[in-house]
Amino acid sequence: MNNPDKNTRKLNSLLTKRVIELHSKGYDYDFLPSGNQHLLCLQNNADFKIADVNINIIDQGYDQLSRSFKYVHSIDTGNGERGVLIAEGIFTNEIGAQ
């Protein structure tokens, strides 16, 4: 018999694993898209233009809570703040969410 709770943990664990891996590499900040091609750092409320940061897509996983695919990105601001962005779309430096 297939246990839905066990499957939920497996699917969400991929996202968690990637975030933990990034944290272990010094990507300690959390970022959110704040509109108009900007990202907001949650720890210090710093606002960055997407064009001014380095964004790399790390992985994709299915989030059972929101029932949608999420993309894990690494963010490097160039001034020492490095972190993670988890979003439903793919972000790049040129055009933001796809």
Q: What is the pLDDT of residue 69?
A: 92
pLDDT, tens digit, 9 for 90 and up, residues 12-56: 778 889 999 999 999 999 999 998 899 999 999 999 999 999 999
Quick one: pLDDT at residue 96? Answer: 45
pLDDT at 68 over 60: yes
Measure the CA–CA gap between 42 and 61, rounded to whole angstroms.
22
51, HSE (Cβ side, Cα atoms, 13 Å) = 4
Residue 2: CB atoms within 10 Å:
5
Q: For residue 1, name the pLDDT band (cuts at 50, 70, 90).
A: very low
Please enumerate in sequence order all residues whose Cβ is within 8 A of that of 36, keeping only pairs 6 or more positions apart, or say none: none
